[in-house]
Structure 1
Amino acid sequence: MNNNQSAISDSNSGQLTFNPVLRGISHVLSVLFHPLFIPLYGTWLIIYTHSFSFAGFYGKKLFAVYASVFANMILLTGVTVLLLKQLKFIQSIRMHTQKDRIIPYIATMTFYFWAFLVFRHQTTIPLVLTAFVLGSFLAVVIAFISNLALKISMHALGMGGLLGLMFCIFSDPYYNITLLLLIIILLCGIVGTSRLILGEHTLREVYLGFMFGILAQLIAFWVIV
């Protein structure tokens, strides 16, 4: 096989190795759709699709919603992971091993549950956003428990959460989000494929990530909405 092909077979390992361009694109996609950023994407999707519910949110009030999600679910989690790496509690911020994921999972569960409590006690926050935050917390809980047996894809878990969110919104005939749902499904496939191209996960770990992410949102919406 020549070097222009997108993938070649490694005769020693029996695995496929992909050319640098394809791997580079996969790295970019993995950064853009890193699980750390999923809560912010989900919040935007909710506000975009539920503009009527957020009619009173504009200016500083809308900024406060985004700021709360960013601070409690992204900033605190990201800083914690960086500190854990600096203090050598984990080997890499990419958390390749199940052992590396234990403390970050616990920290993330704490921050996500706190974010849920914050939104839960603010009666002006639409329930759909509170449910999404609860679903994000449940997804991390499921990932933490499953981490005892296998290393599921956190990227797939996050994208599965977005897809689960879209399923819940789509179930309401008031919202016509067919195109948006199809886009999220396409993105799930692209992100999942990128993780396989990079060799970060097996197909099973990616599928389980999607399944757990979707399931967590379905449970949360059943409980809250």
Structure 2
Amino acid sequence: METRLTADDGIELKEITVEDYRPKNTVLRVIAIVLSYIFHPLFIPVYIIWLLLNTQAYMFAQFTPAEKAIALVRFFIIYSFFPLVTVLLAKGLGFLKSVYLKTQKERIIPYIASNLYYFWMCYVLRHQPDFPKEAVYLSMAIFIASCAGLMANIYMKVSMHTMGMGIMLGFTGMMAMGEATNYTIYFSISLLIAGLVSSARMIVSDHTPREIYTGLLIGVLSMAAAVWADGILP
């Protein structure tokens, strides 16, 4: 049990007791923390493009091994390095109290900055015919999810971790339905990982179940929207 301050109808502060449903087991919490770091949303796009490069070699038949490595590095720079540096700079300049972005207000600057990076990556990939359409779908889905996350941030602190999980689920599900290569196993693994990460965020974060599920929904719908949008954009 824990206590919080809240305002009643008379705008008077009063202390209420809230049941803390998060488990206190130390081992569970350590595992949840490790999972949260390994499957941090900054790394999910890199994991996905790495999977695509290694399981769908025919899509990158025109790429040399060096060009494949460069593609992986590009994804890391745009989706991991730049957003991380943005958060660290904002923290160093005093715009953020914590690099963990614990409040909705602290998430505004990282969201806006990341949207610029993600839009640029999406634009570049769409105009590079050597990249397969699946990589374009991924970049568009990440941009759409980030925009949706920024809008949802007005009302709730949507879990960025589960947004990443939703994109991963949407991507592997798309590949499982459309590719000759059996992607069902990867979709099954994605479901398992998404469940573990969602549970981990329930354990070690202050997210509510609604924020966890909303993040998953945004991620999955963003992938579907990316596939749809790519078909109507010039």
| TM-score after normalising by structure 1 | 0.92
Paired residue type of 1:14:
E
Whole-Å separation in 1 of the counterparts to 2:80 and 2:170: 20
Deviations 1:174-221 (A, max 9, x none): 231111111100000000000001142111111100000000011112
Structure 1: unaligned runs, 5 residues or longer: 1-8
- Structural mapping, 1:1-225, within 5 Å: 13-16=18-21, 17-224=23-230
User: Quick check: 1:161–1:216 contact (8 Å CA) kept in 2?
Assistant: yes
Paired residue secondary structure (1:35): coil
Structure 2: unaligned runs, 5 residues or longer: 4-16
Whole-Å separation in 2 of the counterparts to 1:60 and 1:37: 21
Ranges of 4+ aligned residues in structure 1 off by more than 4 Å: 9-12
Residue correspondences, number: 217
Whichever of the two has the greater Rg, that structure is: 2
Pairwise CA distance, 1:70: 1.1
User: Quick check: 1:168–1:221 contact (8 Å CA) kept in 2?
Assistant: no
- Give % identity: 37
Whole-Å separation in 2 of the counterparts to 1:123 and 1:82: 34
| Alignment RMSD | 1.6
Whole-Å separation in 2 of the counterparts to 1:153 and 1:112: 18
Deviations 1:111-157 (A, max 9, x none): 01111112112111111101101100100000000001111110000
Whole-Å separation in 2 of the counterparts to 1:223 and 1:45: 23
Paired residue type of 1:130:
V
Query: Greater relative contact order (Cα 8 A, min sep 6): structure 1 or 2?
Result: 1
